[in-house]
Structure 1
Amino acid sequence: MSYASIMVSLDLGSGSGERTRVAAQLAEHFQARLIGVAAREMDYPRGYAETSVLGLEATEEIRDAALADVAEVETAFRLAVGSGRPIEWRSNLTDPEIFLEEQSRAADLVVLGRRGGQDLSDPRLAVNAGRALMGLGRPVLMVPPGVDHLSLKRVVVAWKNTLQTRRAISDAMPLLKVAQQVQVVRITTDEDDEDLEDVVRYLGLHGVNASAFRKSQNGASVALALEEAAKAFDASLIVSGAYGHNRLREWFFGGVTRALLNHCSVCCLMSH
């Protein structure tokens, strides 16, 4: 298995160029098609629409502004990729999350980004990573702000014996095979490592150089403990299942997926 088609979701935020370069790096490594995607929903005044005669001039201005935004994103995408690489661009004036969900049919992997703390970009182009994870049916690579390169040397697999984690390992297999070292990490107080060793042996059958590591939370959240383990291992990627609990429960009470999406400084490949 490899990645034959990689899609990157873009907006006017400062991180778009960074995640484009990550996606382009992966596309080059796997000789995959690279697709840039952006959409912007037009913000008509309440009570107006394109068919409103009274507001025709206003709606045309709104439409032109939306088209200009999408064109600006496309220009930035092409500049970030550079010349000499075949790429594809897809855009529309519609809800960006719905559009990405529709277009993900053409991708093996979808690259998303998190808005930076000082990012004042237009949210009408932005995609919510949590909702995307639930709706795409594709693995998602979350690229945090400030990251424009993904080293493929070391990878951490956040192990929990759930269908989401098992799916994430399968979805990440092309990257795991490329990595020089993979550490299968379980954040637990349980002394039984039988399933952890099973995963290491399974990865070994696929040619992955993997080892097992059990880490205690030590009072920290699971997400923070995972990030600490990744940094201690000098890993540039965490592979994890997403939303093992009901997503509404995670929204109210917090959860590993939400914390990784919102705060982790390491790239995360997630599957639901």
Structure 2
Amino acid sequence: MTFASIMVAVDLGPQVRHRVRLSGHLADAFQARLIGVAAETPAYAVPPVGPTPGSAFALSASSEAVLQDLKRAHAAFEEAAGPRARVEWRSNLEFPLPFLIAQAAAADLVVVGSKDEAGAGLFAVDPGDAVMHLGRPVLVVPPEVDHCDARHVVVGWKNTREARRAVRDALPFLKRAAQVVVLSVDEGDGAAQVRDVVGFLEAHAVPVTALQRESGGARVGTVLVEAAAEHGADLVVTGAYGHTRLREWAFGGVTRDLQAGAPICCLMSH
């Protein structure tokens, strides 16, 4: 099992070159093709009643402005991707998320920026939306990070559909790792049993150990990041949105915390 095709969401933010470089390194590691994707809709002005003089010109000018921005995004992608042979570019005048969803059928892994990435704006895709709708594992990359060697990985474990899917989706990373720590966090109602997931990973020749922690009142996302730092990990693997997004928005949750503030890459599946 491997990643044969890695897709990266490209925007005009200052961090996009880091994200593309990271995606390119992963493409090299897995001998995969690298696909850059960008889209945006023109800012059409809607007349109040019927057509107005100059409206056709305004539509044309708005479309041309977006096309120029797409050319800038393409140039940034090509520069950061470098002279790799298996590189592809896809763009269109469309809303970014629907376009990315349509293209995701070609990808084994989709790489996006984190939620707190400043200045992304144009063409940017919310990582929570990506995880919920793409049907592919999503690698969320924080600002300033341009490598993810994934030699040491922490798996945040709870025996849920989302976590099981994430472990399966992450196997190409986990099988290459030197150390994988499966961490279950006791939030006061007992830690999740890890015997079966550890056995599953051992059957796939993954070098895995189990670890249990009490949250001690800390947020689970914080415990995961601290464990990653202790083990020198640059990748956290978790299921995403085990609770509804509305509940996470209102009360907070692991997915939201990691997407917004984790200093290392997070692979998420839903």
**Structures share a fold, TM > 0.5?**
yes
Q: Distance in 1 between matches of 2:91 and 2:165?
A: 29
- What letter corresponds to residue 104 of structure 1 in structure 2? A
- What secondary structure does 1:184 align onto? strand
Q: How many residues align?
A: 268
Structure 1 CA distance for aligned equivalents of residues 227 and 267 of structure 2: 16
Question: Could you tell me which residue of structure 2 aligns to residue 108 of structure 1?
Answer: 108
Q: Which residue identity does 1:65 align to in structure 2?
A: A
- Alignment partner of 1:169 is 2:167: yes
Q: State the match for 2:31 in structure 1.
A: 31
Is residue 147 from structure 1 mapped to residue 118 from structure 2 by the alignment? no
Deviation at 1:152, TM superposition (A): 2.2
CA 191–252 in structure 1, closer or farther in 2 if over 3 Å, else same = closer
Contact 1:22-1:149 within 8 A present in 2 as well:
yes
In the alignment, is the contact (CA less than 8 A) between 1:115 and 1:145 conserved in 2?
no
Deviations 1:211-265 (A, max 9, x none): 0011111221111111111111110000000000111111111111011101111
Residues 41 and 176 of structure 1: CA distance in aligned 2, closer, same or farther (over 3 Å): same
Residues 187 and 216 of structure 2 are in contact (CA less than 8 Å); yes or no, is this contact kept in structure 1?
no
Identity, in percent, stands at 47
User: Which one-letter code corresponds to 1:28 in the other structure?
Assistant: D
Match of 2:197 in 1: 199
Write the distance in 2 (CA, Å) between the matches of 1:233 and 1:52. Answer: 63
1:14 has 2:3 as partner:
no
Q: For structure 2, list consecutive stretches of 5 or more residues without a partner in the other structure.
A: none
Q: Is the 8 A contact 1:200 1:212 kept in 2?
A: yes
Change (3 A) 1:116 1:129: closer
TM-score normalised to structure 2 length = 0.94
TM-score (norm 1): 0.94
Alignment match, 1:93: 93
Tell me how large the CA RMSD over aligned residues is. 1.8
Mark the CA change 1:197 to 1:110 in structure 2 (over 3 Å): closer, same or farther.
Answer: same
Distance 1:84 1:129 in 2: 26
SS at structure 2 position matched to 1:124: coil
* Cα offsets for 1:119-158 (capped at 9, x unmatched): 334x231101111111100000000001000122100000
Structure 1 alignment gaps of length 5 or more: none
What code does the residue aligned with 1:120 have? Answer: G
Give the equivalent residue in structure 1 for 2:126: 128
Give every structure 1 segment of 4 or more consecutive aligned residues whose post-TM-superposition deviation is greater than 3 Å: 51-54, 189-194
Q: Take 1:84 and 1:252, find their aligned partners in 2: how far apart are those partners?
A: 44
Q: Is the 8 A contact 1:113 1:142 kept in 2?
A: yes
Task: Note closer, same or farther for the CA distance 1:192–1:130 as it changes in structure 2 (3 Å cut).
Answer: closer
Deviates more, 1:176-185 or 1:244-253: 244-253
